[in-house]
Amino acid sequence: METQNEIDYKRIAEAIEFLRLNYKRQPTLDEAAEHVSLSPFHFQRMFKDWAGVTPKQFLQYLSIEHAKSILKDKQASLFDTAFATGLSGTGRLHDLFIKVEGMTPGEYKNGGEHLNVNYSFAESPFGIIIVASTNKGICYMAFVDGSNDEAFAELKSKFPNAQYTQFLDVIQQSALYIFTQDWNKLGDIKLHLKGTPFQLKVWETLLKVPVGGLTTYGSLASVLQNPNASRAVGSAVADNPVAFLIPCHRVIKSTGEIGQYHWGSQRKNAMIGWEAAKAQAS
Per the CB < 8 A criterion, the answer to whether 110 and 162 are in contact is no
Catalytic site residue from 233, 245, 248, 251: 248
Please tell me what DSSP assigns to residue 240. Answer: -
Sheet holding 116-124, edge to edge: 100-102, 191-193, 137-143, 127-134, 116-124, 163-166
Query: Nearest Cα to 72, choosing from 205, 226, 227, 254?
Result: 254
What's the rounded Cα separation, in Å, for the pair 224 and 239?
A: 17
Known catalytic membership, residue 248:
yes
Per the CB < 8 A criterion, the answer to whether 52 and 277 are in contact is yes
State how far Cα 236 lies from the chain centre: 15
Per the CB < 8 A criterion, the answer to whether 242 and 248 are in contact is no
Q: What are phi and psi of 229, to 5 degrees?
A: -105, 25
Q: What are phi and psi of 142, to 5 degrees?
A: -150, 155
What's the rounded Cα separation, in Å, for the pair 9 and 124?
A: 9
What's the rounded Cα separation, in Å, for the pair 55 and 17?
A: 11
Catalytic residue annotation: 248
